[in-house]
Amino acid sequence: MKLRSIFIVAGIVFASNSLYAQYTSDVLRFSQSEPGTTARFKGLGGAQTALGGDISSLSANPAGLGFFTKSDFSFTPEFNNFKVGSEYLGNNVSDKRSKAGINQLGVVFYSPVNKAKGSDLNSGWVSLNFGIGYNKTNNFNSNITYSGKNAKSSMADYFADLAGNTPTGSLGSGSLEQMAYNNFLIEYDPAGYFPTTALNNNQQNIIRRSGSQSEVNIGMAGNYGNKLYLGLSLGLTNLDYTSDLAFSESGNNLTYAGQDPEFLNGTYSFGYNSIQQTRGNGINAKLGLIYKPVNELRLGLSFVTPTWYSLTDDFSENLNTKYKRADGASIPEYTNPLSNYNSEYSLRTPYKVSGGVAYIFGNSGLITADAEYVDYSSIRFSSNFAAEETNTNRDIASLYKANVNYRAGVEFKLIDQFMIRGGYSYSGSPYKNLDFTTQAYSGGLGYRFDNYYLDVTYRHTKWESTNSPYTISSDYPDFSFTGAGPTANLKNTSDNVFLTFGVKF
């Protein structure tokens, strides 16, 4: 894929003046998945490493399957509302998107170990349980809109930067810089390319993202003496991500020597559109144990291998421009055919190690907490293009770091079979030079009757990020004035409702 033409799509973040290319941003996005859980465990902040007894154990610590003493089926629909507030060039805008879907579906089969009549049922291997489940691990749905007046640069500066000092006859056919030249947004003189757009232009960027990551996990766990629980599972993952971008800019034409009289003192407006679709599949494995030194206390440890993905990336873009003469008369629109770029690459996400503790207060309730270690600098990108692979892995190592994520939750039984839950999770910043943490607060209710159960959870998540519509390299002749380009500061929130229906059989 032609990297220099697709920097716009990346949602680029700046750290120490280093540019995150599209792949560098995407591989982080695809590595920030979370364990799939039922509404009960979401209400507990996702802290499940030591708790067990829930189909959610398949996606984090499969040892938890060993706690089942009956077969179990559960189904969790979800409703999500995503909101993004942006600040761009001093202007504030907000956008939102809502979507319903299926978050989790699974079944566990309880299989007690056959023992001789009269033997101790609590010694040796007590049961060997099996489970299979689907769960969503990442949700990409969001709408991002920002706009403002730019007094320092135009996207045409970015086009001129792409063109560099390349002779006009050597610009790549179908390239973004060739489109800009054909549309008279950049011109050429002995010093190189320069923009034909004046400053104080109006800019707007609209990004529509959709898709998700999901897993189908197949696992098993053994219960040894009702003290030690060991489990493993295999995860078959799927990734589907789409980013649809529409950038527009309007303003006055720049006045310069040799200008075509038709454009003198006139105005311009152009629209840049692109769409990126990334799809693929992967595989991972999960190993875990839970130990009960006493009945009330549970200690858990789990290891999630990297996910090895094989991905296909399809990218397309075009650029169209309209002009008006000084007298207000319109000039026929300059259009370009759609350019398409396709590529395939492999991705290895980070491994994860989690430790947890849970304490059970008899039939009154419980408290549980997890700590998870993940090293985002260990992400690896593989491509058939050597330079692309080298540069992406170099940026990953220099920009990302390891961190520890925390989750905790409490559950109390109210009257009869009613339960109330609360949880909190904290994810550290994956960046070395940016403090972009994520926090989530959750609360829920549960009800048990006969062999049926019903759980509902509300979760509120918030995090900050940045997005840049274009980036200008430090080699650009006017970089001292334009800088690296404008950046939008984004405040993201997600409000989710999860509802789990379950039956034991």
One digit per residue, the tens of pLDDT, for the chain of length 505 reads: 333 333 333 333 333 333 335 799 999 999 999 988 999 999 999 999 999 999 999 999 999 999 999 999 999 999 999 999 999 999 999 999 999 999 999 999 999 998 877 777 778 999 999 999 999 999 999 999 999 999 999 999 999 999 998 887 789 889 999 999 999 999 999 889 999 999 999 999 999 999 999 999 999 999 999 999 999 999 999 999 999 999 999 999 999 999 999 999 999 999 999 999 999 999 999 999 999 999 999 999 999 999 999 999 999 999 999 999 999 999 999 999 999 999 999 999 999 999 999 999 998 999 999 999 999 999 999 999 898 999 999 999 999 999 999 999 999 998 889 999 999 999 999 999 999 999 999 999 999 999 999 999 999 999 999 999 999 999 999 999 999 999 999 999 999 999 999 999 9
Left, alpha or beta for 23 (phi > 0: left; psi -120 to 50: alpha)? alpha
Instruction: List, as one string, the DSSP characters of 230-259.
Output: EEEEEEEEEEEEEEEEEEEEEEEBPP-TT-
Instruction: List, as one string, the DSSP characters of 109-173.
Output: E--BPP--TTS-TTSSEEEEEEEEEEEEEEE--EEEEEEEEESS--HHHHHHHHHTT--GGGSPT
Contact present, 184 and 321 (Cβ < 8 Å): yes
Tokens of 226: 């009702």
Element (H or E) spanning 282, and its range?
Answer: strand 267-294
Tokens of 481: 């004035």
Distance, in Å, from the CA atom of 34 to the CA atom of 436, rounded to the nearest integer, reads 17
The residues, any chain, with a CB within 8 Å of residue 21's CB and separated by 6 or more, are: 3, 7, 10, 391, 392, 395
Phi, psi of 36 (to 5 degrees): -75, 135
The three-state secondary structure class of 382 is strand
Distance, in Å, from the CA atom of 411 to the CA atom of 465, rounded to the nearest integer, reads 32
**What's the half-sphere exposure (Cβ side, CA atoms, 13 Å) at 102?**
11
Amino acid 31 reads S
Handedness of CA 375, 207, 497, 279 (dihedral sign): negative
Amino acid 189 reads D
Place of tokens 């079979």: 417
The pLDDT, as a whole number, for residue 190 is 86
DSSP code of residue 351: P
- 336 strand-pairing partners: none
Distance, in Å, from the CA atom of 408 to the CA atom of 495, rounded to the nearest integer, reads 19
Phi, psi of 43 (to 5 degrees): -65, -25
The pLDDT, as a whole number, for residue 6 is 34
- From the CB of residue 258, how many other CB atoms can be counted at a distance below 10 Å? 6
3-state SS, one letter per residue, for 315-331 = EEEEEEEEEECCCCCEE
Place of tokens 């048990």: 448
Reported in sequence order, the residue ranges of 384-487 that DSSP labels E, i.e. its strands, are: 402-413, 418-427, 438-449, 452-467
